Structure 1
Amino acid sequence: MGDVLAHESELLALVKEYLDFAEFEDTLKTFSKECKMKGKPLSKTAGGSLRDSKSLIIQKDLIAAFDNGDQKVFFDLWEEHVPSSVRDGGSLAQKLEFYLHIHFAIYLLKHSAGRPDREDLDERISYFKTYLETKGAALSQTTEFLPFYALPFVPNPMVHPSFKELFQDSWAPELKLKLEKFLALIFKASNTPKLLTLYKENGQNNKEMSQQLHQQLIEAERRSMAYLKRYNKIQADYHNLIGVTAELVDSLEATVSGKMITPEYLQSVCVRLFSNQMRQSLAHSVDFTRPGTASTMLRASLAPGRKLKDVPLLPSLDYEKLKKDLIWGSDRLKAFLLQALRWRLTTSHPGEQRETVLEAYIDNDLLDCHSHGQRSVLQLLRSKSHVVRQYLARLVNAFASLAEGRLYLAQSTRMLRMLEERLKEEDEDVVTRENILGALQKFSLRCQPCRKNMCAKVAGLVLKVLSDLLGHENHEIQPYVNGALYSILSIPSIREEARAMGMEDILRCFIKEGNAEMVRQIEFIIKQLNSEEQVDGVLESDDDEEEDDEEDHDIMEADLDKDELIQPQLGELSGEKLLTTEYLGIMTNTGKARRKGLAGVQRSADEPLCRPVTPGGHRTGYPV
């Protein structure tokens, strides 16, 4: 009762507002009279005056954005305050929205005194084209709108006869009048009582909760099926084990009477005990006549490393919607999406789950490496937001940490150029530079040895740069400089150039100052410098790509997810919850195997070259 009394004034006002909305005039008079008689005050905050005022402000902002040609502001307000049921439900709203897109697409052509800004105009035309290909496609069969689908492809729409009407002085004012009438009608209809709004919101929350519970039920059923399969497998193994045990007991009893156990019988028993995958190979490769061989192989089959984990595949995503929001969304949304996509990759379980995630990213060209459009996800490297730039750099570095990801990225020369450009221009964020540098270093794992011959053309310059970098104040780069020197000195022409410039004397200067590891690496470089081997990279075969694959390891570094710049606020979605709530797609995970070069080729301790690691990784203990 105390809670009711504390909010009694507001509750009574809600009732009064609803009675007024529903036009219960007599009931409202009696209700107001009785409240007055009992001394029950009615709060004025629940009335429609505040909503009316807010509606007017929104209408004015929309009209101002229309007049100023501010496309982004207008459609942000439009999508936020005009209900989707209204925008998508009636032909009047769809037609008006179509003409509004045309208005903003040609705004610069009509209001620029001189030549319009080319980049801004291209962006507007691209936005209109995207609308035509997505939401606007519904009107493509309407004769009234069919000519306008050619607008983005006409070089000069102002002189084209099909679009003559659009550039008349009366066209925009008439469209503005239609917009004002539409907004007045919409906002008048949307001034529903707060009591009704609360009821609808409660129903919507129940619906969302029901959907979440349904999704959880599906997931629980999937896990139940997986556990049932494992149970059936364990039960079958148990029955098999009991049968084998019974046979072995019979055999032991037979040995008491002098009957010998043959190797063939022992082999048949062991084959039954091994898993299906091992039976055929082990049955023909193991010598069962040697004592202890069978038992050793059986114990090895039970080693912890052979335990299989039942790791579920992650839900598929709507990548078309994802990429659209990565391009057109707010900077905060872009950052959260880039973070969530990175987490999905870095926190996935190595094996089928991670391979499926990466496969989906590549198949849907998540980073637009194969796209030639002016607006692409790659353009986020040039974003004004340092958070967006850093988070895209982290995602690219995560791609580059995996062999298939490196292959995907390295196929795009535009990607490499943009990374190089960002590395040179980035002066605000150290983490961004480190992740870009880490990604570029990992691309070198896929380079064929013959690429080093490019250095032979400018041997003097390359050697001078590398010798200068040996004395750089940032000691983290020294292993990379050493590796580069060791590598290119395998080419005779570069060795001759290095000897001519006195490279050995330069290297010995650093031996006096370096630590034990640095001294060891420089000694290898000097040994390479004085080598007389005539093996030249030019003679290397294209088949070396296969050798590159053998050393193309997958290592996901912990630095990729450290020191996050953004944290979700109360009620704000992030991570996997953001992806599965807003961007859930059709289930397309097939789990097909991808070709992976995972042969464990280990380098000798005498070799100075190792796999590149993101520079920031050295701070957390990653060895070079």
Structure 2
Amino acid sequence: MDGAAFAGFVRVLPFTHIPRCLRVQHVFLSEKENGQSHKETLQQLHQQLVEAERRAMTYLKRYNKTQVDYHTLIGVTAELVDSLEATVSGKMITPEYLQSVCVRLFSNQMRQSLAHSVDFTRPGTASTMLRASLAPMKLKDVPLLPSLDYEKLKKDLVLGSDRLKAFLLQALRWRLTTSHPGEQRDTVLQAYISNDLLDCHSQSQRTVLQLLHGRSDVVRQYMARLINAIASLAEGRLYLAQSTEVLRMLEERLKEEDKDIIARENVLGALQKFSLRRPLQTAMIRDGLIFWLIHLLKEPDCLSDYTLEYSVALLMNLCLRSAGKRVCATMAGLVLKVLSDLLGHENHEIQPYVNGALYSILSIPSVREEARAMGMEDILRCFMKEGNAEMTRQIEFIIKQLNSEELPGGGLDSDDDDDEDEEEDHDTMEADLDKDELIQPQLGELSGEKLLTTEYLGIMTNTGKPRRRGLASVQRGGDEPLRRPVTPGGHRNGCPV
């Protein structure tokens, strides 16, 4: 700008206005520079919206199908009740009627073949077909997933950026949780174990396992999720149990994690699954986990359903051991109050574990005395009036235990031989492992299986390995409180305990 022009500019715009103009100019240029980042943010939000709408449509379809199946089942049930009433008066049920009922209960793809190929005049045919329809279908020709370069993977998990670490932990978890149960999932887990994915046996100062105490909230949570997923499988628990460092770090994380609810849920879930193994039960009791659980459960309404259910189930498993009972006996009044309060909680999933814990600790004479002093029998009888038939029968067993004079040591307790290192073969991969993901890939960013097979493809080394089978499950009477260690997923899915 030459002098004449500048003089004219000053006449039009006094010096007092120039600072304001400069600020406006600065804001304008800043907005222009930020425009690109805003555009990327909008694109990412749009992608997330599309994905959310897709999931919503999928869930809506599932809901509609479930509702149709429910109405069909109610209709068939009503007809069967009518038919039973008719047989009382001597009316016969025809094979054609049985056929029509079964066809309505089966999926569309089975209906035509059933209608023409099954002889419903043979006794037992209809019930056999119905039971067979509930059996899991055998998966044919499920391919093994590609092998990975685990050395490169572990190096990036230790030295990579926090965002890369999070995406790798997510992808490794998805590879396990979304694989088909059977050979495909077994091969994935065996690859993790044989390559010591979590560095459980490493003597290095920086290991993958230390991500559990990393700086990033996302990395810590995703590490906890991966450990919980591996602990969901019996072979995975055996791998993790071989390192005392894993248990120590999980216990530290559990007691320190007070902000991230999902991280704490997954740490707690892993510890609960660890409690299926005797040596780990012993270590957790020794480390004071029962005290921590009792104080956590004093305010159950502040806990998520997952945290409540897994903390009560963990407490029960630890109380099945003599050492755990002795710990409870040192604070019998508090333990009995917490457990009796939990009996009336609206989450009925926890009732079997509360009953099991009560039944177990009441084998200690001093605990029985404390329970009688606080009127425990009257409290239990109140719940008998409100509970269902199974709950009522379990409470009857607890009252019988309360009024017994037996010394500890009798009965089928999960007692103190740490050398008996087998467990029931519970493999349960719960859906909560993949809920509420914190990270989403941006445009052009790899994630999941695509990230693993694009950047970390290894030499084909997948080999099948026979699965280690646990001890034959110890049965209990259906009315008795639980007396063997269980995990909520396995108990809900009907695994024998």
TM range (shorter): 0.5 to 0.7
Query: In the superposition, relative to structure 1, how do residues 602 and 462 fare at CA in structure 2: closer, same or farther (>3 Å)?
Result: same
Q: Give CA deviations for 1:449-469 in whole Å, capped at 9, x if unaligned.
A: 995122354342253443232
Provide the rounded CA distance (Å) in 2 between the counterparts of 1:566 and 1:347: 18
Counterpart residue type for residue 266 of structure 2: N
How far 1:523 sits from its partner (Å)?
3.4
Using the alignment, how far apart are the partners of 2:184 and 2:231 within structure 1? 18
AA partner of residue 428 (structure 1): K
- The Cα shift of 1:598 comes to 8.1
Alpha-carbon offset, residue 532 of structure 1: 5.2
Partners of 2:262 and 2:381 in 1: CA distance: 31
CA separation of 1:507 and 1:394: change in aligned 2, threshold 3 A: farther
- What is the one-letter code of the residue matched to 1:612? T
User: Following the alignment from structure 1 to structure 2, what is the Cα–Cα distance between the partners of residues 600 and 402?
Assistant: 16
Q: Which residue of 2 aligns with 1:333?
A: 164
1:359, 1:564 → 2: CA distance?
A: 26
Show the counterpart of 1:612: 487
The aligned amino acid for 1:461 is T
The letter for the 2-side match of 1:512 is C
Contact 1:381 1:422 in 2 (8 A): yes
Match 1:461 to one of 319, 327, 330 = 330
Q: What are the equivalent positions in structure 2 for 1:351-366 lying under 5 Å apart? A: 351-366=182-197
Letter in 2 for 1:454: A
Aligned to 1:581, which of 454, 458, 473?
A: 454
1:512 aligns with 2:387: no
Between the two structures, name the one with larger relative contact order (CA 8 Å, sep ≥ 6). 2
1:328–1:538 CA distance, 2 compared to 1 (3 A): closer
Question: Among 467, 476, 482, which residue is 1:594 paired with?
Answer: 467
- Residue in 2 that maps onto 1:501: 370
1:554 and 2:427 aligned: yes
1-structure distance, mates of 2:280, 2:193: 26
Q: 1:342 aligns with which of 173, 179, 184?
A: 173
Q: How do 1:63-462 and structure 2 match up within 5 A?
A: 307=138, 309-447=140-278, 452-461=321-330
Superposed displacement of residue 601, structure 1 = 6.2
Letter of the 2:166 counterpart: A
d(CA) in 1 for partners of 2:415 and 2:227?
33
2:80 alignment counterpart: none
Counterpart secondary structure, 1:445: coil
In 2, are the aligned partners of 1:463 and 1:498 still within 8 Å (CA)?
Answer: yes
For the 8 Å contact 1:340–1:579, the answer to whether it is kept is yes
Instruction: Give the one of 357, 368, 379 matched to 1:484.
Output: 357
Deviation at 1:354, TM superposition (A): 0.7
TM-aligned CA deviation for residue 519 of structure 1: 5.0
Query: Helix, strand or coil: the match of 2:255?
Result: helix
Is contact 1:398-1:560 (8 Å) kept? Answer: yes
> With structure 2 as the length reference, what TM-score do the two structures score?
0.55
Given that residues 435 and 614 in structure 1 are in contact (C-alpha distance below 8 angstroms), is that contact kept between their aligned partners in structure 2? Answer: no
Q: Is the 8 A contact 1:438 1:614 kept in 2?
A: no
Residues 475, 500 of structure 1: alpha-carbon distance in 2 compared, 3 angstrom cutoff:
same
Is 1:567 paired with 2:436?
Answer: no
SS at match of 1:333: helix
User: In the aligned structure 2, how far is the partner of 1:338 from the partner of 1:525?
Assistant: 44
1:578-619 residue CA offsets vs partner (Å, 9 max, x unmatched): 11111111111111213133857665421333732379x99x
- The structure-2 alpha-carbon separation of the partners of 1:532 and 1:367, relative to structure 1 and needing over 3 Å to count, comes to farther
Asked whether the equivalents of residues 328 and 361 of structure 2 are also in contact (C-alpha less than 8 Å), the reply is no
Letter in 1 for 2:488: V
> What do residues 508-566 of structure 1 show as CA deviations (whole Å, max 9, x unaligned)?
425525851555544333333334556456986667544x33xx311110111111111
Cα offsets for 1:159-206 (capped at 9, x unmatched): xxxxxxxxxxxxxxxxxxxxxxxxxxxxxxxxxxxxxxxxxxxxxxxx
Q: Cα 1:530–1:444, aligned 2, differ >3 Å: closer, same or farther?
A: farther
Give the Cα–Cα distance (whole angstroms) in 1 for the partners of residues 213 and 345 of structure 2.
27
**Alpha-carbon distance in 2 for matches of 1:326, 1:461:** 44
Distance 2:330 2:227 in 1: 30
Alignment correspondent of 2:107: none
Distance 1:310-1:446 versus aligned 2 partners, 3 A rule:
same
What is the Cα deviation at residue 348 of structure 1? 0.8
Q: Partners of 2:346 and 2:210 in 1: how far apart?
A: 32
Question: 2-side partners of 1:335 and 1:539: how far apart?
Answer: 40
Instruction: Report if aligned partners of 2:173, 2:225 keep a CA contact under 8 Å in 1.
Output: yes
- Mapped partners of 1:465, 1:364: distance in 2: 46
**Residues 305 and 433 (structure 1 numbering): CA distance in 2 closer, same or farther, change over 3 Å?**
closer
Q: CA 1:468–1:582 in structure 2 vs 1: closer, same or farther (change >3 Å)?
A: farther
Q: Could you tell me whether the CA contact under 8 Å between 1:380 and 1:388 is conserved in 2?
A: yes
Q: Is the 8 A contact 2:428 2:489 kept in 1?
A: no
Structure 2 runs not aligned, ≥5 long: 1-121, 123-128, 283-320
Question: CA shift at 1:309, angstroms?
Answer: 1.5
Alpha-carbon distance in structure 2 between the residues aligned to 1:557 and 1:362: 21
Question: Residue 376 of structure 2: SS of its match in structure 1?
Answer: helix
Change (3 A) 1:565 1:511: farther
Distance 1:421 1:542 in 2: 23
In the TM superposition, what whole-angstrom CA distance separates every residue of 1:472-494 from its partner, at most 9, and x where no partner exists?
6976555434323333445xxx2
**TM-score of the aligned structures, taking structure 1 as reference length:** 0.45
